[in-house]
Each structure stands twice: as structure tokens, then as C-alpha cells.
Amino acid sequence: MNLPVKIFTCYLLALVCFLPLSAPAYATIDDALSFALEAATPYVKEGFTVREDYWGGDLAVKQKKTIVHQLFKGNEYWFWMGTDIASAKISVHIYDSEGKLAEAEAWHHKPHMAAARIVPKATGSYYLVVEVHSSPEERTHWALSYGFR
């Protein structure tokens, strides 16, 4: 095998080895979003409009992140959180502008998913706290979508 062929073969091997490793890294938030949207599916049938926009990122175990979001009194909202890791335990909770827990209900019993519902008592800013409680991975990708009716 001459040198250029050797180099090309090495390059090809490196590509074949690294592509599968790098591709999931890009795909993970999208996967997390897919699960968030899957969690939303039954609620769409109940008349919830799901937003196209969403939040996403990655968290270490026991790490929380807060999202400030505008909600309007008169609407009902569901927030759906998804992760690409089936065995990860995640949660989302909603607090009002004074820091009081404001959600009407929340669940996190299904793999890949968690959700919280709120019927805001006032129009204004609310805090959405997302958390990874446990995960086999060092960093866990997450996505949060919401719907209203």
C-alpha cells in the first residue's frame, strides 16, 4: 500500500470511528426535545397548543436551572421536560414571582419525561426550575417545551 492510500485509509478509519461518537452529542438535545413533545401529545388532544420554541441544555446530577417565563392569567399551561437518557430522573416545578410553589400538579413517573401544570393566579413572571435528580451520565441533556389553552 503506498503512502497516500495509507493516509486515506487511516483518515477513513478515523472518520468511521469518530462519527458515531460525535453524532449523538449533537443529537441529544433534539432527542430530549422529542421526548418532551412525546409527553405533550396526549395534551394536544385536550386542546393545548404546543409552542415551537423551547429551552434546552445539559445538567450535572443534582444541578438545577431556573428559567424565567411570562405567563398570563386566564390560560392554563403545561410544561413538558424530556431527556435522552431513559434511566435519568428529572423534574420541572413552577414558582411564582415571590418564590411560592405555584403548580397545580406535576409528574415525573415516566422514563425520559417530567411535566408540570399551572393555572396562573396572576399575569407576570414565573420561575421554572428544572433538575436532574439522578442519571448514569455525567451530563444529562434536557429540553423543556410548553403548551397553553
CA distance linking residue 11 with residue 69, whole number of Å: 47
Q: Which of 97, 104, 119, 136 binds another protein (CB under 8 A)?
A: 97
Distance CA 102, CA 119 (A): 8
- Whether 78 and 116 have beta carbons less than 8 Å apart is answered as yes
Q: What is the per-residue binding string for another protein in 111-130, x denoting contact by CB under 8 A?
A: -----------xxxx-x-xx
By CB under 8 A, is residue 68 in contact with another protein?
A: yes
Q: Of the ranges 8-16, 21-29, 33-41, 99-107, which one interacts with another protein (CB under 8 A)?
A: 99-107
| Residue span binding another protein (CB under 8 A) among the ranges 6-14, 18-26, 27-35, 106-114 | 106-114
Residue from the set 38, 57, 61, 137 that interacts with another protein by CB under 8 A: 57
Position among 34, 106, 137, 139 found at the interface with another protein (CB under 8 A): 106
Contacts of 98 (CB under 8 A, 6+ apart): none
Q: Which amino acid is at 46?
A: E
Considering only 3, 5, 15, 98, the residue that binds another protein (CB under 8 A) is 98
Give dist(CA 69, CA 93) in Å, integer: 12
**Residue 146 interacts with another protein (CB under 8 A)?**
yes
What gap in Å lies between CA 73 and CA 96, rounded to an integer?
A: 12
Give me 42's grid cell: 396526549
The verdict on 80 binding another protein (CB under 8 A) reads: no
